[in-house]
Amino acid sequence: MMRAITRRGFVGAAAAASLCGAPAAIAAGDAPFRLGLTPVFLDNDAAVIAQLRNTFHAAMDQPIELLQRRTYEEVTGLLLEGAIDAAWLCGYPFLQHRKALSLIGVPVWNGRPLYRSYLIAAPGDPATGLADLEGGLHAFSDPDSNSGWLVTASNLARMGRTPDDFFARSIFTYGHRNVVRAVASGLTRSGSVDGYVWDVLSEVDPGLAGRTRVVSRSEWLGFPPFVARADRVAAPAVARFAQALSSMETTPEGRAALRTLHLDGVAPGEVSLFDGIAARMRDVSRL
Amino acid sequence: MIRAFARLPISVRVPIMSAALMVLVGLIASHQVLTALTRAQEARLEELMRLHVDGLSVALGPSVLREDVWEVYDTLDRARQAGADQRMILTVVSDSDGQVIAATDPRRAPVGSELSDLTDLDTVPKLDEIALTSADGHVRVLAPLVYQGRGVGRILTEMDVSDLAAERRRATLALIVFNTVATGGLALIGLVVTRRMLRPISVLAGRMAAGAGRPEPIPPQEVPSGDSEVARLFRTYNDMVDAIAAKSDTERRLAERERLVSLGRLSSSLAHEINNPLGGLLNAADTIETYAERPDTVRKSAGILVRGLRHLRDVSAAALDHNRVDRRGEALKPEDLEDLRMLVAPEAQRQRQSLGWMIDASADDLAPHPAGPVRQIALNLVLNALNAAGPSGTVSLRVDGLEDGLQLVVTDGGPGLSEAALRRLFSSAPTEPGGGVGLRVVRDLVSSLGGRIAHDRHEGRTVITVTLPGKRAREVA
């Protein structure tokens, strides 16, 4: 599945590259810039991948390789061991490895670099809050996702409960879209999902998102950031990438990609944006 | 029903049977086609199911082993969306204990529920037992989920086969319409052809039954030309009709001749009867002429003359009565028997025979019987008896009234009836003339009156008994 998407993305990129008249031949010894992607955004959208590749290729004048992995943990691992140069990660793993990683940009959504976590259930479900969902099946996105796990787990921790003893059973779907699918199909009663993903899905795929409703929303938290290893953040390629990110809204390719992603742009960002996540991490770790 | 069918003419029965056979053949052929179609559909379905289950086994094996709910669901859901064949309604995957891991429709088969809650697993057919017999158009199949050579779970699949049922319905309808039209057409053609082939039989049957039971010949224009079987059959039939006509004509002429023979015999005896008194009458006339002056003698002779002439008048009246054809329909009266006696007595007298005449029947006993035929029967038998008895022989006629009928017994002391005479009296076989005058006429008259004849030879006497049924017995018959 991963390979298929990668290949499809590559073919799309090649076609787009030739259409844009970008240089087809790469100078010898020009290693591609490798960017890791997590399923934070619309993970199965090959168009998004092709657009991102075009954007960064054009802005950095360097071939770019987009790597997808099933879990946040795998992408984080690749970043820490230096197999990739940068990654679009979640605030939670960023804070988990705060010492080793540096922030190089935070996407801006609806004018702010913030998003929320939603607790969703079926439209006919009578639940009005997390407490009403006890004993049901729950879908998390990823154990290293802030919106898809940490927010609900920390809310439960504040109630003195853990996901395992609160829910009859909880499953990981490794994708925010999959959480929506699980709840929409009735596989699980409720799910923890990225509010940004759910809102965008409501626009682009109302047939799916419409089969779920938001039971509760978290406070505003730092948007999933672009990060690089702290010891490599000064490298020219990483610096070019940070520059390409911040200037995305100034290029046609960048604007197209941002439009597809329903984002306004990418801001430099401050670590303090993720204080809310840090607080939740502390609540969970206390259990 | 069967009896009513058996009563139908063969020219109707054979076409109906051939049409029925065609309909039967059509039904059997339709049944075969539908059975084959169902088998083909079941084989197709089994193939489809096997592919489905095998594909899922390969894809789901590791996830089922880990009981990874999301992976199992995701695979099932993507397989469902990607499936070109939209037959799969529900696929449920359980672990080896029968606990549901995931289903394409989690609301129908929730995670963690028991597979047996969904359906009675014992009644769900295996892959090779698929039968397209369900009423709701759904078929369920239970198959083991085998991964790395061991069963790690089970797959329950429900398919919508209503399209196959609809296909069968369409095929059935098409077969019914086609077979109805085809067998109907063929049956109609068969009806026409067999009727045409059997038309000669109808013609024959019609001609045989025509004209009050008397077969009629087939007109030459209806006989097919050439030397076909039908033409030969018709010609043979016509020959037979001609032969029958010739035979009855011969018989009629024979009977007429016999009547004339008996009439001749009767007239000779009448001649005697008239001749005998003539001498006496002439003598009386001479006496009157000679002794005209003797009133007593004249008166006496005139008396003789009158009695003699009266006798002659009675004899001729009896003879006239006997031959009056229009008397046939009249009822028998005692006077008829008296007439008869007057007719035969001269013959007996001539041969100096003793003629016994015993009438033990009242006018009521005689009345139900027609005068003409009975007189003829008695006359012929008595004349024959007189002839057989010879000079000075004895002959008797006895007429008895029975409870319901009449019996005539004629006895004579003659040598008995010859073989030829008996044949004439008892059979309709053709015989040469002679040997018993009018016996064939007796036989024909008795049988036309529904009576019977018995012959016996007893103590040197021949006894012929004719029994005629009365009114009641005739009505019963």
pLDDT in tens, B191-205: 788 778 778 877 888
Distances (CA, A) of B42 to A208, B140, B209, B338: 36, 13, 63, 103
Do B111 and A186 count as a contact with CB atoms less than 8 A apart?
no
Token match 């008239």: residue?
A: B274
Q: What are B2's two structure tokens?
A: 């069967």
Do B111 and A187 count as a contact with CB atoms less than 8 A apart?
yes
Do A173 and B102 count as a contact with CB atoms less than 8 A apart?
no
Residue A78 Cα to chain centre, angstroms: 16
Q: What are B400's two structure tokens?
A: 């008895």
Amino acid at B292: A
| Residue A27's pLDDT band (cuts 50, 70, 90) | very low
Judging contacts by C-beta atoms under 8 Å, the chain A residues touching residue B106 are 185-188
Judging contacts by C-beta atoms under 8 Å, the chain B residues touching residue A172 are 70
**Pick among 3.40.640.10, 3.90.1300.10, 3.40.50.150, 3.30.565.10: CATH of B249-269+330-476:** 3.30.565.10
**Bridge partners, residue B464, by sequence:** B410, B455
Residue B433 has pLDDT above 60, yes or no: no
Quick check: A262 and A109 in contact, CB under 8 A? Answer: yes
More confident residue, B449 or B343: B449
Judging contacts by C-beta atoms under 8 Å, the chain B residues touching residue A182 are 70, 73
pLDDT value for A189: 95
Residue A183 has pLDDT above 90, yes or no: yes
Residues 6+ apart with CB under 8 A from B272: B346, B347, B350
**CA-nearest residue of chain A to B69?**
A171
Residue A1 has pLDDT above 60, yes or no: no
| Mean local confidence (pLDDT), B25-51 | 85
So where are chain A's domains?
A: 2-113+222-271, 117-218
Percent of chain A with pLDDT over 90: 67
Judging contacts by C-beta atoms under 8 Å, the chain B residues touching residue A122 are none
pLDDT value for B140: 84
Determine the Cα–Cα distance for residues B308 and B278; give it in Å rounded to an integer.
8
**Bridge partners, residue A101, by sequence:** A229
Do B106 and A173 count as a contact with CB atoms less than 8 A apart?
no
Residue B436 has pLDDT above 70, yes or no: no
- By C-alpha distance, which of B434, B442, B437 is closest to B465? B442
Among candidates A172, A173, A187 on the partner chain, residue whose Cβ is nearest the Cβ of B106 = A187
Amino acid at B157: T
Sheet holding B405-412, edge to edge: B354-360, B394-402, B405-412, B461-469, B452-458
Residue A144 has pLDDT above 70, yes or no: yes
Chain mean pLDDT for chain A: 85
Weakest mean pLDDT among A101-105, B137-141, B238-242: B137-141
| Residue B84's pLDDT band (cuts 50, 70, 90) | low
Do B107 and A186 count as a contact with CB atoms less than 8 A apart?
yes
So where are chain B's domains?
A: 2-183, 249-269+330-476
Superfamily of domain B2-183: PAS domain (3.30.450.20)
- Which of left, alpha, beta for B405 (phi over 0: left; psi -120 to 50: alpha)? left
Residues 6+ apart with CB under 8 A from A184: A122, A208, A209, A211, A212
Determine the Cα–Cα distance for residues A4 and A238; give it in Å rounded to an integer.
28
Amino acid at A271: V
Token match 């010879």: residue?
A: B390
Judging contacts by C-beta atoms under 8 Å, the chain B residues touching residue A137 are 110-112
Do B107 and A173 count as a contact with CB atoms less than 8 A apart?
no
Superfamily of domain A2-113+222-271: Periplasmic binding protein-like II (3.40.190.10)
**CA-nearest residue of chain B to A175?**
B70
Determine the Cα–Cα distance for residues A148 and A221; give it in Å rounded to an integer.
13
First to last CA, chain B: 30
| Mean local confidence (pLDDT), B41-69 | 85
Q: Phi and psi at residue A19, in whole multiples of 5°?
A: -65, -40
DSSP output for B242-307: HHHHHHHHHHHHHHHHHHHHHHHHHHHHHHHHHHHHHHHHHHHHHHHHHTTT-HHHHHHHHHHHHH
Quick check: B148 and B60 in contact, CB under 8 A? Answer: no
Whether the complex's predicted ipTM surpasses the cut of 0.90? no
| Mean local confidence (pLDDT), A93-103 | 93
**Bridge partners, residue B144, by sequence:** B154
| Mean local confidence (pLDDT), A205-217 | 94
Residue B423 has pLDDT above 90, yes or no: no
**CA-nearest residue of chain B to A137?**
B111
Quick check: B45 and B29 in contact, CB under 8 A? Answer: no
Q: Highest-confidence range of A212-221, B325-334, B341-350, B451-460, by mean pLDDT?
A: A212-221
- pTM for this one? 0.61
| Residue B323's pLDDT band (cuts 50, 70, 90) | low
A-B Cβ pairs (cutoff 8 Å, strict): 38
pLDDT value for B162: 81
pLDDT in tens, B277-318: 677 788 788 888 888 888 888 888 888 788 878 877 777 776
**CA-nearest residue of chain A to B73?**
A187
Selected residue of A187, A190, A211 to mutate for chain B interface (largest B Cβ count, 10 A): A187
Whether A117-218 and A2-113+222-271 are alike in CATH topology: the answer is yes
| Mean local confidence (pLDDT), A137-142 | 94
More confident residue, B134 or A148: A148
Residues 6+ apart with CB under 8 A from B231: B223, B224, B225
Residue B337 has pLDDT above 50, yes or no: yes
Do A185 and B77 count as a contact with CB atoms less than 8 A apart?
yes
List the alpha helices (DSSP H) in chain A. Answer: 2-20, 46-60, 72-80, 91-96, 151-158, 163-166, 176-185, 195-204, 206-209, 236-246, 252-261, 275-285
pLDDT in tens, B410-421: 999 888 888 777
Among candidates A139, A172, A187 on the partner chain, residue whose Cβ is nearest the Cβ of B102 = A187
Measured between CA atoms, how close is B109 to chain A, in angstroms? 9
Selected residue of B71, B93, B108, B111 to mutate for chain A interface (largest A Cβ count, 10 A): B111
pLDDT value for B324: 59
Among candidates B73, B105, B112 on the partner chain, residue whose Cβ is nearest the Cβ of A169 = B112
In this structure, the number of other CB atoms found within 10 A of the CB of residue B256 comes to 11
Among candidates A168, A172, A186 on the partner chain, residue whose Cβ is nearest the Cβ of B70 = A172
Chain mean pLDDT for chain B: 81
Determine the Cα–Cα distance for residues B301 and B289; give it in Å rounded to an integer.
10
CATH topology of domain A117-218: D-Maltodextrin-Binding Protein; domain 2 (3.40.190)
pLDDT value for B322: 63
| Mean local confidence (pLDDT), A157-164 | 93
Q: Phi and psi at residue B466, in whole multiples of 5°?
A: -110, 125
Quick check: B174 and B183 in contact, CB under 8 A? Answer: no
Do B69 and A187 count as a contact with CB atoms less than 8 A apart?
yes
| Mean local confidence (pLDDT), B56-84 | 85
Judging contacts by C-beta atoms under 8 Å, the chain B residues touching residue A138 are none
